Structure 1
C-alpha cells in the first residue's frame, strides 16, 4: 500500500512530501520533493505563530494559501514518481503548527490545514489531526515521532539507538529493547533562523558560515541556559510560539555584534542538547546518535555537536539507510498507514497519553478532482 506524508516544519521554509510503500511490515521510500514557501506566506506564518488574537478571516486565508502549497507538493511528487492519485491509499497531513499549547486551560495544538479542500483538490483521502488525537487521550501532543523511530530501528535490525532531530525545534528519542522515551529539548534552528532573517534578510545561515565567524557571548549564553523550559521535567514539548521573536526581544541583543549573537545562538542549541543528554540520557552513553532534519546541512552546528557529545557516537541517519531530509516527513506517511490499518500507537512514555490510541481523523475525497 502506498501512502504520502506531507509536512511543514517549525522553520516554515518549505512543504515536504514523500511517498512510502508499506508491505508486510517493511517500508520503502519511493521519492520525495520539497516545495518552497514563498517569502510573503512565510512572513504571514511567523506573524501567526506569535499572534494569540489572530482574526478568523486571517486564519482562514492562511489555511487556504498553505493548502494550495500542500496540493502543489503532492502533484509535483506524483509527477516525479509517475503515480496517479488512484495509486495512493491516503495522505498523512501534518499542517503548519502555529500554536502548541498542551498546558493551556483548554489544551490544544493548532496545525493550519484544510484537509477537506486538499482531499478534493488532489483526489486522495487525507488523514490528519494526529496531535489533537493524542491530546484528547491525555497526552501533550508531542513528540509523536518516537514510535516511528522504534519502527525505523527495527527495519535496520537494531535494538537501540538515539535519534536527534534538528528542525526548528530539537527533539530526541531514546530507543532500547525495554523502553522508548522522547521529548523536545529546545531550539535547534528556530532562533538562529529568526536572527539571520532579521540581520541578513536571508532565510537561514547557510552551512553555519555566519555563526562560525562569530564569538560566543558567555554571559548571554549563561542567561539562556537558565530558561524555565530547559529545567522542566518529562514529559515536555515546546514550539516556535515559545522560542520566538518575542523570546529574542527579552534580551538587549542590539548591544552585541550580530555575528556574535548568531554564534551564541548556535552554542545555545549545542549546550542545551548536551545538557539534556547528560541529565536524562547518561544511562545510554555509547548508544549511537542518529541526527536528521534540515539542521544536518549546517556544517558548523554538526561539527560542534560531534565535539560536544563525546560520550555517544554521532552520525546522521544515512547510517541506517534513511535520508535525514525525509525522515520526519516519513512519520506522517507511517501514521496514515497505521490509521488506515487501525494500528494503535503507544505514546504513554513520551507524551503522557493515558493509553495507546489510533491517531488521526480521515477525510474522504469526493471522487471529483478540481
Structure 2
C-alpha cells in the first residue's frame, strides 16, 4: 500500500495542500474549524509528514520530551511544574540529551505531539499527568513511544511516584500526638489524579485508625483555596484544631487566613502543608509539611526513559516521604 501523502490529507479534508502544511507547522491564522478538519483527516489516514519516514523512525535521537498532560501552560507560578521541569532538563543534559516540552490538553494537542514523535523530534517522553487513564497511556504506547509516567502509577507502564499514603499518615500522626482531635484536610475532592486520591485516602484511613475526627473540604491547589477554606472552617459550628493543606500552597493560604482572623498558630489551631516547596520554610510561622523528593524523582524518571530509548528495561519506583516539623504544627 503506497504511503499517505500530504495531498491525500488535503483531498480528504477538502482543503489545499498549503493549508495542511500550515496546520502542521502551527500557523496561527488557521480557522479552528479548518484546523479540526485537517487534524481529523491526519488521524483518519494515519499520516506523518516526511518523505523519509521509515528512516527517521529508525534513527536515533538525543532529545526527550517532557509532556505536561492536563496542565495549564500559562501557570508559570506553579512551583511543582517549575521544580520538576528544571530537574528534567538538568538530568537530560547530564546524559547528553536535550529536552523539549509539550502541553497536551485536547485531541489536537495529542495529534500534534504524535506528529512530532513520528518526525523524530524526540525519542520518548516523561509524562507528567496525574489524571491520565490507562486508555490514554495505551494511546502513547501504541505509537511505540518509550514512556515513563511521573508522579502517577498505572500498570504495564514504568512509573516514578511517591508513597503519599504513608506521608499523609506521618503528618496526621504528628497532629494527633500533639493532642489534636478534630482534623480538616483541604484538597480538591473532584481531582481524580492518583496523587490526590492517595493523599485523601491516607488522611481518612489514619484518622480512623487514630480514633479522631477527620473531615475533607474541597478546594483547588492554590493559595486562594486555602485562604477561603480556612475562613469558612472558622465560620462554621465545629471548628477544627488542626488544618492540613493538600499541598504547601493551600497550607500557606490557610496560614494567611489564620493571621487575618487573629488566630495564634499553632496555639489556637495547627496548620500544615504537603510537598515541602522552598517557600514553606519562609512563611510566618514556618510551615510544617511533608517532604517530597521531586528532584530525585524527576531525575529517576529521565534515567528510566533513556534506558527505555536504549532498549533496556526500566523499573518503576516509589519514593519514600519524610515529615518536616516546623513552627506551624
Q: TM-score, normalised by structure 1?
A: 0.30
Higher-Rg structure is: 2
- Which fold has the larger relative contact order, with Cα–Cα distance below 8 Å and residues 6 or more apart in sequence? 1
Identify, as 1 or 2, the structure richer in strand: 1
TM-score with structure 2 setting the length: 0.33
